A and B are shown apart, each in its own frame.
Chain A
Amino acid sequence: MQLAVWTYEGPPHVGAMRVATAMDGVHYVLHAPQGDTYADLLFTMIERRDRRPPVTYTTFQARDLGKDTAALLQDAIREAAVRFAPQALLVGASCTAELIQDDPAGLAEALDLPCPVIPLELPSYQRKENWGAAETFYRMVRQLADPAVRPAPREGRRPLANLLGPCALGFRHRDDVVEVVKLLDSMGIGVNCVAPLGAAPADLRTLGRADFNVVLYPEIGMEAARWLARTFGQPMIDVVPIGMGATRDFIQAVAALAGVDPAPALANPTTRLPWWSRSVDSTYLTGKRVFIFGDATHAIAAARIARDELGFTVCGLGCYNREFAREMRAAAADHGLDPLITDDHLAVEAAIHAAAPELVLGTQMERHIAKRMGLPCAVISAPVHVQDFPARHSPQMGFEGANVIFDTWVHPLVMGLEEHLLAMFRDDFEFSDAAGPSHLHAQPAPAQVAVAPAPTIVAQADIPWTSDAERELRKVPFFVRGKARTNTERYAALEGRVQIDIATLYDAKAHYAR
C-alpha cells in the first residue's frame, strides 16, 4: 500500500476517458461501481465542456454483486450502442470491476454489435492516467487504421503529417494544435489527421495516408506512433516544439524529413522571446535559481528554456511519470543534476525546500507548495486547475508558445527595476512593508502580515537571534526575508555559532552569495 493525499495522475480508465472524450463518434462503456461517475466533472468543469463525456457507467451496487454484474454490463453496452450509435465502442473496467473479473471483451463480442468494439485492458493497480490514455489510443489506432491506405504519390501535392497525442484535459493541447498546424502550413506541409483530439474513428482509418507522424505529446501519442512506424513504415518526429530552440529544431527536423525549405518557418516575425530576454530589464533574471517539476515532456522542455533562453540556473528537475524516467535522467545529467522521479508530493516538497529556488515551475501541486513557502511559481504541466484552461489563446508550443512562456514565467518574479528600487529604498518609512499597500494610503497600516518562511519543514538548530540581528533582518525586502532567515540559520548551525548577530547575518550572506 502507498499513502497518498495528492495524486499527480488519476487511474488509467481516466486516461481512456480522456481519449474517448477527445474524439467524435466514440462511446466508452465503463464497468464501474456507483460513484466513479465523478470523473465526468473533470471534463465538464475543469475543461468546461458543453456536453457529457461519451461514457456510460454500469454503476453496479453491492446488491448486484451476488447476482449478475455481467448481464448489467451487457445491458449497458446494448443500450449505449442503440442510444448513441457510435462509430466505435470502447469497453473496459475500472479498478473495482477489474477485481470482480467480468470479461468486458468477451461479453461485448457476444452482443454482435454493428460497430467495431475495442476492449481495453487497463491494470488499475499498476498503471496510471497517462499510460491509460496512451494504451487506449494505441489500441484504437491498431484496430482501426486501415493498412491498405497509403500515401498518394508525392508529385503535385503537399507533404502530409498526422499530429498524434493531443487529448481532452491536456494542458494547452487545444492551442498547441493551432500553433503547430500553422507552423507546418508555413512550410507547405498539410495535416492529414489530428488525433485523438477532434478525430472520429473514420479519421483513424486514414492515418496511413500521411507521409509521417508528429508526436506532440509522447506521454499519449508515442505508443501509437511506434506501432505506425513499425507497421506502416511511417517515420516520426519526436522533437517537442516547446521553447525557441526546440521549435527551431522541430522545424529543421520536419523540413529534412519532408524535403522542404525550413527558412520561411524559421523567419517568424511574431517571435519576441529572444529580444525580450536580451533587453536590459531581463538582466536581473541571470542565474535565478529555478526548480522544475511536471510531466517529463514539459519539465525537460522547460529546463532547456530556463537555462538557454532565459539565463536561469536550473537547481532541481524531475517528473512524476516513471514511464519517461530514462528521458528525464538524460536531461537532468545535461543540467548536472540528480533527477527527481517520484509521484510523492511530500518528496517534491522536501526537494524544493532543500534546493532553495527563487522560482518554481511545476503543476498545480507545486503552485501550492510554493505558495506555502512564499516562493514565486508558474504552471508548466498537468495536473492543472480550471484557470489553466483559459479562454484566451495560450499555447506552449511554437513561437507564440515561447512568447506566452516568457510572460508566464517572468510575471511572478518582481520586475528588475522594481526589485532595484525596493532594495534601494527599503529603509524609507513610506516604503517599508509595515506601511501597507500604497493604494490604501489613507487607511491605517494593517497588522504586520508576516510573509512567513512557511512552517519550517526541515527543523533548523534552535539558535537565538540577537535583537540587533532581528532588526537588521527586517531591512531585507520581505519577499526574500524568509530565505535570508533560513540561510542564516542554516549557516549558523553549520558554523556552530551559539547566537545569530549582525555579523552572522552578513557572513551567511557572503557564504551563499553567487
Chain B
Amino acid sequence: MSGETGLAPAIAPTDTGCADAPVLRERGQRAVFCGLTGIVWLHRKMQDAFFLVVGSRTCAHLLQSAAGVMIFAEPRFATAIIEERDLAGMADCHDELDRIVAQLLARRPEIRTLFLVGSCPSEVIKLDLGKAAQRLDRTLGTDRGAGVGTRVLHYSGSGIETTFTEGEDACLAALVPHMPAASAGAAPALLVVGTLPDVVEDQFRRLFGELGIGNVGWLPARQLADLPAVGAHTRFLLAQPFLGETVGALQNRGARHLPALFPFGAEGTTEWLRAAADAFGVCPMQFNRVAAPGRERAKRAIAHSQDRLRGKRITFLPDSQLEVPLARFLATELGMVPVEVGTPYLHRELMARELPLLPSATRISEGQHLDRQLDRVRADRPDLTVCGLGLANPLEAEGLSTKWAIELVFSPIHGFDQAGDLADLFARPLRRRDVLRV
C-alpha cells in the first residue's frame, strides 16, 4: 500500500482499496454504548439546552459512569426514573413527566431547549415522548412569560435503536425541522454538521473566512436559540461520519451534501476544505494559499509519531463509526497496517471517499459477535487494538496494547492543528509500552 506520506497533493491508491471489499457482518453480543452517551458531549456544546432522559435507574447509572467527574459540575442533563407506579398505571406517565419538567425548569429557568430523550424502557412501554414534547412545547414554548419560552423536542437515544454516536445523529435530526427556512433567493451558504469542540470550530471558522466563505452555519449551534437557516441554497459538509439520519433530514429540506473525506489528518482536512472551496468557487491559488500553512503544520506534527507507528498493525473494534476514517488516516498518513476495521454500522454512501483508500487486505466488519471478534484479535495479535473501556484492561493483561476508543470522541481530533495530537493518541500506548521497565 502507499505507506509513503510525502508531500503528494492527494492520496492515489494503486487499486480500489476496500471500495468493493466484502464486509464481515456479525450478530451477537455487542460491547458498545447506547445513544444516551451522546448527551455527555452534546450538552457541553449546546449551552442553552437540557437533556432529560426518560428511563430507568440503569440509564441514570450509565450517564453517571460515562460522564465520570463531569457529573459533578451541575450538568445540564438528568434522568426521570420510571418507577413501579408508572408501570402499573397507578401514575399517568404524562402527568408525571409534566410534574418533573416543571420541577426541572424551576431549578434551571435559563434553559431554552429541553430534549426529552427516549430510552429502552420508554420505547418498550411505548411512552409517546413525541406527543409529550409537543404538548409541553405548547405550554412552555414561545408564549411562556415575557415572550421567552423553552422549546421542547424529542429524540431517542435508546440502546435498542442507537449505538453510541448515533445518539448525536438522532438529536441533530430532531433539530433539522426547527431550523428556520432560508428565503428562496438567498445566497449560497455553507453548513457544517456534527459536534466539534469549540476550539476546532473556531479554527475552521477562521479558515472558511480566509477562503472567502463568510456565510457559515454550524449544526449544532452553541446556542440552540440561534439555529442556522436551511434551504435549497445550503451546501453542507459532514464533520462527523455517524450522521446518516441528519443527512436525510437536511436533504429533505433541499440542502446538498458535499462529499469529502472526513477532516482527519493533513490530507483529510485538505480534501474536506477543498470540497467547500470548490462548491463556493474559491480559486485554486487562493485555496492553496489558505490551506498550505495548516497542511504543512499538520504534516510536521504527524511526523513526530511516524517512526513509532509505521508498519504497526492495528485493529479497531466497533464503537463510534469513526473507525473507517481513522483507519484511513493512520494507513495513508502514518503507514499503519489496518488488520480489522470494525464499525457498528457501515454507511457506504458516507464512506464512499474513505473506503477506496483503505488497503485492500483490510478486513472490514460490521456489527459484532464479541467473543468471536476477540478470538480474531488473539489470533491476529495486532500491535494496537482500539476498543472500549470494558475490554482495554483485560486485553492489556493478555499482553495486547490498546487505545481506548472513547477518547477519540471526547478529544479535539479534527483539522490541521489537531492532526499531531490525533496521531499521538495512537502512538502513546506504544511509547508507554516501550518505556516501562516493570
Contact = CB atoms under 8 A, between A and B. Distances in A.
Interface of A: 1-7, 9-11, 13-14, 33-45, 48-53, 56-62, 64-65, 76, 79, 83, 94-96, 99-100, 123-126, 128, 365, 368, 385
A360 to B, nearest CB: 14
Contacts of B82: 1, 125
Interface of B: 28-37, 54, 56-58, 60-62, 64-66, 69, 71-72, 75, 77-84, 86-87, 91, 93, 96-97, 99-100, 103-104, 120-121, 123-125, 158-161, 163, 371, 388-394, 396-397
Nearest to B393: A44
A94 B158 CA distance: 14
B197 to A, nearest CB: 23
B394 A61 contact: no
Most central of B29, B32, B71, B163 by chain A CB within 10 Å: B29
Given A1-B82, A4-B78, A125-B83, A38 B33 contact: yes
Contacts of B30: 34, 37, 59
Contacts of B60: 4-5, 7
9 contacts: A5-B79, A36-B34, A36-B62, A37-B30, A45-B389, A61-B159, A64-B160, A96-B58, A99-B125
Nearest to A128: B57
A128 B58 CA distance: 10
A467 to B, nearest CB: 33
Contacts of A83: 371
B160 A61 contact: yes
A52 B57 CA distance: 23
Contact of A7 (B64, B120, B159, B396): B64
A79 B86 CA distance: 36
Contacts of B84: 123, 125-126
A11 B125 CA distance: 18
Given A37-B30, A40-B31, A1 B80 contact: yes
B32 A34 contact: yes
A236 to B, nearest CB: 30
Given A11-B58, A52-B391, A59-B30, A1 B160 contact: no
Q: Which 3 A-B pairs have the closest CB atoms?
A: A35-B34, A35-B159, A40-B390
Contacts of B391: 40, 44, 52
A150 B279 CA distance: 83
Contact of A95 (B37, B57, B86, B163): B57
B34 A33 contact: yes
A36 B81 contact: no
Contact of B158 (A14, A33, A39): A33
B161 A62 contact: yes
Contacts of B36: 35
Contacts of B83: 1-2, 125-126
Contacts of B158: 33, 35, 62
Contacts of A61: 159-161
B124 A34 contact: no
Given A38-B33, A52-B391, A2 B80 contact: yes
A125 B79 CA distance: 14
Given A59-B30, A62-B123, A96-B120, A11 B371 contact: no
A49 B394 CA distance: 7
Contact of A14 (B61, B66, B78): B61
B67 to A, nearest CB: 10
Contacts of A36: 34, 58, 62, 159
Given A2-B80, A36-B62, A62-B160, 10 more contacts: A2-B81, A4-B80, A37-B30, A44-B393, A48-B393, A50-B394, A59-B28, A76-B29, A99-B125, A385-B69
Contacts of A124: 56-58
Contacts of A9: 57
Contacts of A35: 32-37, 62, 120, 158-159, 163
A65 B65 CA distance: 27
A59 B396 CA distance: 25
Contact of B100 (A1, A11, A123): A1
Contacts of A57: 29
A61 B125 CA distance: 15
B71 A99 contact: no
A51 B71 CA distance: 27
Contacts of B100: 1, 3
A10 B392 contact: no
Nearest to A40: B390
B9 to A, nearest CB: 42
Contacts of B393: 44-45, 48-50
Contact of B394 (A42, A44, A125): A44
Nearest to A58: B29
Contact of B371 (A79, A96, A100): A79
Contacts of B34: 33-36, 38
